[in-house]
Structure 1
């Protein structure tokens, strides 16, 4: 996982999902991202490599 703090309002993580083997590791990743969102009190949005939005609520995202 690569971590990049782009600004005060946005943090990016680059995750190679090919390295996630099995549901247990997916659950760990989701738990981590959920904890980050709770700690920062903001939405966690997943975006595919090409920029396609996978999850999250755009209406609650800060701009």
Structure 2
């Protein structure tokens, strides 16, 4: 499940094909759409998309 923690942010992303279950040690390719709704141009050297892995109870397992 992909959780979008801040749905009101100016910079958003969308990854609808993220697998619901993943096997440890397996590589997955997931297309991600990033939408810059600001009036500013993003510099590739200043922006990055990151992730955190959490259990259903919110425990971080990254």
Q: TM-score interval w.r.t. the shorter chain?
A: 0.3 to 0.5
Higher helix share: 1
Higher strand share: 1
Over alpha carbons, which structure has the higher Rg?
A: 2
